[in-house]
Amino acid sequence: MLYNSYRSYMKNRFGAPVMKISLSAGFSCPNRDGTKSVEGCSFCDNRSFSPALGSVEPVVKQLTDVMDRCKYRFKHFLPYLQPFSNTYGSAQQLREIYEPLVQVPGVIGLAVGTRPDCFSEEVFEYLEDLSGRTYLSIELGLQSGHNSVLERVNRGHSVEEFCSVAQRLYSIGAEVVAHVILGLPSETEEMMEQTARMLGSMECVGGVKVHQLMVIAGTSLAQSYHKDEIELYDICRYSDMLCRFLSLLRPEQHIHRLMADSKPDMGLIAPLWSIDKQRSLSFIHGYMEKISFVQGRRYCSVS
């Protein structure tokens, strides 16, 4: 086994393959609605990676429409609230959205994408109740383990906030997944490895989701790219950096994603290898085999 994939983890946990279904519940983000900023993260445009974003259907209908199409191939389904920050609301608002989803027959839990600065005490209390009743995965955006990099990309939260919230979520029974981008402006490869070491040392982080930096039209990152102010990874360099990153994680941490994909009609400018996901994944897997890669090979437990 090259790495501990999330797909295999879920199949082993639930006894059969699980289909993860991206949904849009209409949440916003404090980094976009003026609470912290109106510009958002410099790299962010949800339309580039979330096919659910444009849906105007009720969230349960979004879910059941996909389940109906796939019911002959899958018996287990995981709703995934993906675009923007899906804990950015009151506990009552979350309850009204979450509860109908987890009650749909065939649903084995809930995955929630969000940021470390979108939690209140009442939300933690509700999530603790929910995690006691069903599988709950919280995908928590970190992107980098360095505050200087987070400031550069206008992230709007700190590494310390991530660590504090991740520990709290773990303590209430939620599964914590750290989201990381490799290749952010001003971040060296040594810094990326430091981020991996940090995540590997955090018992509360059960999974990691990794992808390459992509330049999306309309973002401030795109302006920097057109001024030749940033350098993007080609597939060879990314594969090498990815393997170095994963080798520093714990062997048991499950890997949700190795790369992201998008298309020009969804705003993608570069790198163009992001268009062909299957071909790029095949290259990454081939590189892993070539170097005899094993997740966690360089992980060192600090006790």
Task: Give the residue carrying structure tokens 């360089």.
Answer: 298
Closest CA to 282 of 2, 22, 16: 2
The answer to whether the CB of 67 falls within 8 A of the CB of 105 is no
Provide the strand spans (E) within 120-263: 135-143, 175-182, 205-212, 215-216, 254-257
- What is residue 56's predicted lDDT score, i.e. its pLDDT? 75
pLDDT band at 49 (very low <50, low <70, confident <90, very high): low
The answer to whether the CB of 140 falls within 8 A of the CB of 178 is yes
Cα(7)–Cα(155) distance, rounded to whole angstroms? Answer: 29
**Residue 133: burial class (beta carbons within 10 Å; 0-12, 13-18, 19+):** exposed
The answer to whether the CB of 247 falls within 8 A of the CB of 29 is no
247-277 residue pLDDT tens: 999 999 999 999 999 999 999 999 999 999 9
Cα Rg of the chain (Å, integer):
19
Is the backbone peptide bond immediately before 271 cis, with ω within 30 degrees of 0?
yes
Mean pLDDT, rounded, for 53-77: 90
Q: Which residues pair with 270 in a beta bridge?
A: 215
- What is residue 189's predicted lDDT score, i.e. its pLDDT? 96
Cα(216)–Cα(262) distance, rounded to whole angstroms? Answer: 9
CA torsion angle 239 245 246 247 (round to 10): 110
pLDDT at residue 192 above 60?
yes
- The dihedral built from the CA positions of residue 226, 231, 237 and 239, taken in this order, carries a sign that is negative
Mean pLDDT, rounded, for 192-202: 98
pLDDT at residue 38 above 70?
no
- The dihedral built from the CA positions of residue 123, 128, 131 and 137, taken in this order, carries a sign that is positive
The answer to whether the CB of 157 falls within 8 A of the CB of 119 is no
- What is residue 303's predicted lDDT score, i.e. its pLDDT? 42
Task: Give the residue carrying structure tokens 């992980």.
Answer: 299
- Mean pLDDT estimate for the chain: 92
CB burial string 168-184: b at 16+ within 10 A, e below: bbbebebbbbbbbbbbb
206-216 residue pLDDT tens: 999 999 999 99
Tokens encoding 278: 């299957």
Mean pLDDT, rounded, for 200-225: 95
Other beta carbons within 10 Å of 55: 18
Contacts 24+ apart (CB under 8 A), 7-13: 8/254, 9/207, 9/254, 10/76, 10/78, 13/135
pLDDT band at 30 (very low <50, low <70, confident <90, very high): confident
Cα(178)–Cα(193) distance, rounded to whole angstroms? Answer: 15
